[in-house]
Structures are given as structure tokens and as C-alpha cells.
Structure 1
């Protein structure tokens, strides 16, 4: 794309800089009512970790050259390298396989590396003042064009994209959320294969190399669930999960379901007992918001319904 046809995009980034730890400790030590014994200060390390961090919050706008097929991650990397090196965000593979770059894009949890500008950029809001002095917000006119490639032809702006940290989790800095609460919930459910430990042998007394041989229908029961990358998109979409102990969250239940449905695992009943709790399947409200935007194509809402039904019917 030549300079004459290069388009631009504006990113509105919700930024956050935490207050230095020394200041927080000094403020905390200066008041006897701010110690851990206070019911408002949290009595456990987990509660303290989930407490909303204090610091400076603001919205910063960046307008940069971009193409409709660029991803939001491409734009953030360009900003980081050429405009503002202080901007903080997390990413790894850049191909939608690791799940480390989940954020809120226009208020919807998604991955930075798979979200393209042509799909997420929206017209900029323009303020107009009427004859009576009232201000109205209208969308920027696009001269009848509705597609990003048409705008690229005349060098117009692709629009605006709003970015924020993944909802439901404490913010560490800018677009980086602390997803440890979700990972801790997954670990509690022992997300690994637990076989009976008995070495299968053949009639001749040799080791049976086909001990864990499965039929295609047995594999199909959990194969899709094994694609979960623990990105947190489903948890950020869930109105019940808030990074705490009230609900273990859809990601943890998906991992539990993956092994409950595995014919090689011998702990299915124990796994269902572990999630048959007040903060487990009982806390799911079947809103199915967790299904939206799963980057691995898992119908999380349907799988949640299936595991809830299985737990209640066992």
C-alpha cells in the first residue's frame, strides 16, 4: 500500500499505572485500621491479590497508519516501537495459539492477534451542537461507504477501537490483567490424566502397548475441549465470574469436563464431586455469554450445560 492510500486507525487505550509498592506499604503502615485483621482489608493472600489495585488511570489515544487487514496486535507493536515504549500489553505466539493476549476490544473479550481492524474498527463519534446549545453525538459520515477496503481507496480513517484489560480480573498495568485466579481454579481441579496405575499386559505377559487405545467416538467426546488455551475470554465474558471464589469459572469447568469425558481417566466421579459445590456447577446461571468469541471454537455454553447435567444425573 502506497503512502497516498495508507489509512489510519485510532486506538483508545485504557491505561493504568499502579502506585509504587513502597507508597502503598507506607500508607498501610500508617493506619492501624488498614491491617490484614480489618474485614475490609481481606483476610487471605488470595483476597489481597484480587483486591483492586490503586494507581493512575486514564484513556490515551494513538492515531497511526494502518491497513484494514492489520491486527490490533500489529498496531500495538507499532505504537510500542515507534510512538510510546511505556505502553504495556501481553502477547507471545501472535497466532491465536497461546491465549496470552486476551483483552477487551470495544468492550468484548477477544485476542489481540486475531482481531483485525476491518472487523473491529468503528466510526468515530462526532459531537455537534444544535441551535439551542445542546451537544449531540453522531457517527462520523462515511460518504455511503460501509467497508474498510473502500475507505482505504481514498486514504480515510478506518475508525476507532477501544481497548481495555480483560474484564473480571485485577489489572496489573495498562492492558495486562492478572489471570492467576483463573489458573489457580484450573489447578485445583487437577487438569491432567489420572489413570488407574495398573500396567496392562497381554496374555503372554508382555506390556500391552494398546492399553489406552480409543475408538473415534471416545476421542470425539473430549477432543474439542482439549483445544482450550486458558486465555480467559470466556471468563471475561461471564457475568458471574469475577476472579474470586464465588464461581470457579467456565474455563475451570471446561478443563474438568475434558477429563470427565476421557475414557482413559479413572477419576471421573471424583472430578464431578469436586465441581459439585456452591462455587462450582451450582453457581453457573446458564447465561451462555461464555460462548461468545471463543478463539478455539469451543461452544462453552453448551459444554457447560452438558457437564452440569452430567453432575446432577450421576
Structure 2
């Protein structure tokens, strides 16, 4: 979290939070009032539970990432906040969320790139100011040691069973206790603006920013993402295994090398208006994996792979919007791959 200790500005992180409702014992029972299943076989369900928005204002460095901010919140301010990450370097793809409505990775999203200023007449819309918050000396020392400093927390809570809002907020000019019996105002700092976070679109929400991305893995498995050779083991004249039989030329490797870097983060699927919109579509992540093996000179299952994607919910469902490749963290032009697959299916 480089730069957090040299905090030079404030930023407000607005998180769309969600706490699931406990499942009822008879929830799975079939009733006459239950909505019929989708004819497309979709298993995605509308999340049921408590939903609300919560704001955290931190002092940060502009070059820090959004993941840095969430780690400060989690460790020093609000341990109930749920999000997912692993490597923190854009290699695992586990921390994909919607940042200002754009699917991306938390660990690659810089504060300076995503913080936005809201119009003055809408900055506090939906939030109500309450009393100034005083924190104990022990809490203050804890915040100082972590390098983070929260100056306000605003919440707007809603549930699916009621239209009433429960709002709580603290003054933006909150004060902290610097020592026993001494209250000092929080020093002013440049305001970078606000960053809005929401779960990855197109996937069931499990809690807060954690989405269930199992549908990605299920669709990838459906297309058999492994090398399928002819099964014949090449041998030399002496009867030994001919390891050189499976070597590739650099130009052969170049056809699929970039595609093999896909980390199944779900950014392309969250950006796809067809998949995220809830339509029956296998999704660009699975199709990229299919393209990876279609371009592999060692694979002998090209026709079977084309048959698998030549379905109503396969490549035919792609609308060629090309939004899927705009934020790919691995630099894959997903939209171009979708077009190449469409062409391959039509020309075979």
C-alpha cells in the first residue's frame, strides 16, 4: 500500500453493500405462486436481503489503489465490509468489481484515475448530517499507525420488503481525540472526490462486493478447456518417445499465447451487455478459452469445439458490441476474438 503513510488528499469511497437474508427452511418447496423457471435455463436469482449504500472518507495518496482503501477500511474502521482479493497485483483476477459502474480489478484501479467530483447540489443527496464523532485516544493512535483517517461515514439503507430509508451520517469535519482530554480538529486536505463501488454486474451477489463467479467456471468447463490431441504417441525409429513431435514454431505459439493469459476474472462478462443483462449467453470468458485451443496447432478437436459454440446461447448470442475488451486486465482484445469466432463458425 505504497503512499498511504504520506496521505495528501481525501477521497470518499461509496460502497453498495448487501447482507443476504437467511434462507427459510421451506424456501425450496414448490408452490403455486412461484415464478416459472426461465426457458433459457438461467440459474441467476435476484439477491434477497438488506441493501444499502455506505460512505467512508479517507486520507490517501492519489497513486494508491482502491484495494488499498478497502484494506484500510477493513483493518481499522469497519471489519464487517466484505470484498475479495488474493495476489493484489492483477494476476489472479479475484477482486473484480464495478468501479464507478465500470468492471475492473480493485488492485489495478488507481484513486487518481477513478475519483470524480460530484456537483455541489448532489454531493449530500440522500444523506443526513448528524452529530460530530469523537474517537478515543486509543482509536486515534490505531488510525495513525495504519496511516488511514476516516472523516465521515454515511449510510443509506434499504430492504426489499419496505421503501423506507434508514439514514445515518457524520459531519465531514469530524474531530478526533489527539490525547486524553484534548480534542483537535482533523486537518483539511484536498478533496479528490468520490469513488463508487458495486459488485460485478451479471453475477449473483453473496455479500457486499463479493459476487458468485462460479458461472464463469461452469461455462468454461462446458467447452472442455484442455488440449485434445489425436492420442497417438509419436516415436522414433528406436521406439522411444519423440518429444520433438509436439514442438511449435514461434509463429504458431503467437496465435494463442496472449489468449492463454486469461485469468477468468469476469471483467469481460460484467462489461458485456448481453451476459450482464441476464440473457442466455455462454459469455466471452468461455469463448476466449475456446479460441485459445482453436488457435493451438497441437489441438485436433477444432470441429467439435466449433460445434459446441455454434448454439443459440453460444457465439450466435454475441451482439458484437466489443465492450468486453475495453477493460481486460491482461490486454486481450476480447471483442476481436468474438468476431474471429463468428467468422470461423460461418465459414466452416
* Structure-2-length-normalised TM-score: 0.76
Structure 1 residues 8-27: aligned runs within 5 Å: 8-22=10-24, 25-26=25-26
Q: Is the 8 A contact 2:6 2:61 kept in 1?
A: no
Q: Are positions 1:212 and 2:246 aligned together?
A: yes
C-alpha spacing 1:2/1:192, structure 2 compared with 1 (3 Å): closer
Q: 1:185 to 1:243 in 2, by over 3 A?
A: farther
CA distance in 2, matches of 1:126, 1:274: 53
Contact 1:104 1:166 in 2 (8 A): yes
Deviation at 1:33, TM superposition (A): 2.6
Aligned-pair CA distance for 1:2:
9.8
Shift of 1:191: 0.6
Q: Does the Cα contact within 8 Å between 1:181 and 1:244 map onto a contact in 2?
A: no
Distance 2:320 2:37 in 1: 30
Q: Could you report, residue by residue, the CA deviation over 1:111-152 in whole angstroms, capped at 9, with x for unpaired residues? A: 000001011111133118xxxxxxxxxxxxxxxxxxxxxxxx
Contact 2:4/2:64 (<8 A) preserved:
no
2:58 and 2:103 mapped to 1: Cα distance? 23
Change (3 A) 1:3 1:86: closer
How many residues in Structure 1 have an aligned counterpart in Structure 2? Answer: 280
Does 2:311 match 1:272? no
Distance in 2 (CA, whole Å) between partners of 1:93 and 1:255 is 22
Return 5+ residue gaps in structure 1 as ranges.
Answer: 129-153
| 2:120 partner SS | strand
Helix, strand or coil for the counterpart of 1:63? strand
Aligned residue for 2:280? 246
Residues 256-286 of structure 1 deviation map (CA, whole Å, 9 limit, x = unaligned) = 0000110111111100110011111111110
1:244: how far off?
Answer: 5.8
The 10-residue stretch of structure 1 (195-204 or 167-176) with the greater mean CA deviation from structure 2: 195-204
Tell whether 2:77 aligns with 1:83. yes
Q: Does the CA contact (< 8 Å) of 2:17 and 2:208 recur in 1?
A: yes
- Separation (CA, whole Å) in 2 of partners of 1:13 and 1:287: 28
Residues 183 and 244 of structure 1: CA distance in aligned 2, closer, same or farther (over 3 Å): farther
Aligned counterpart for 2:66 among listed residues 61, 72, 77 = 72
**1:115 maps to 2:117:** no
TM-score by length of 1: 0.84
The structure-2 alpha-carbon separation of the partners of 1:2 and 1:279, relative to structure 1 and needing over 3 Å to count, comes to closer
**In structure 2, what is the Cα distance between the partners aligned to 1:5 and 1:113?**
18
What residue is the counterpart of 1:42 in the other structure?
A: 37
2:53 pairs with 38, 42, 59, which one? 59
Contact 1:225 1:258 in 2 (8 A): yes
Aligned-residue offset at 1:203: 2.6
Unaligned runs of 5+ in 2: 123-187
Residue 116 and residue 202 in structure 1: after superposition, are their counterparts in 2 closer, same or farther (change >3 A)?
A: same
Per-residue deviation, residues 155-190 of structure 1 (Å, max 9, x unmatched): 302211000000111111110111111211111000
Across the aligned residues of Structure 1 and Structure 2, the Cα RMSD in angstroms comes to 2.2
Question: Aligned residue for 2:89?
Answer: 95
Secondary structure class of the residue paired with 2:121: strand
Note the C-alpha offset of 1:28: 6.4
Structure 2 match to 1:124:
118
Equivalent-residue separation in structure 1 for 2:95 and 2:241 (angstroms): 44
- Please tell me whether residue 166 in structure 1 is matched to residue 168 in structure 2: no
Query: Is 2:7–2:59's contact at 8 Å kept on the other side of the alignment?
Result: no
> After superposition, what is the alpha-carbon deviation per residue over 1:11-67, rounded to whole angstroms, capped at 9, x for unaligned?
000000110113xx35666x8335xxx4x15389x74x5111200111100011111
CA distance in 2, matches of 1:206, 1:2: 59
Higher mean C-alpha displacement, 208-217 vs 239-248: 239-248
| Partner Cα distance (2:333, 2:4) in 1 | 41
Displacement of 1:88 in angstroms is 0.5
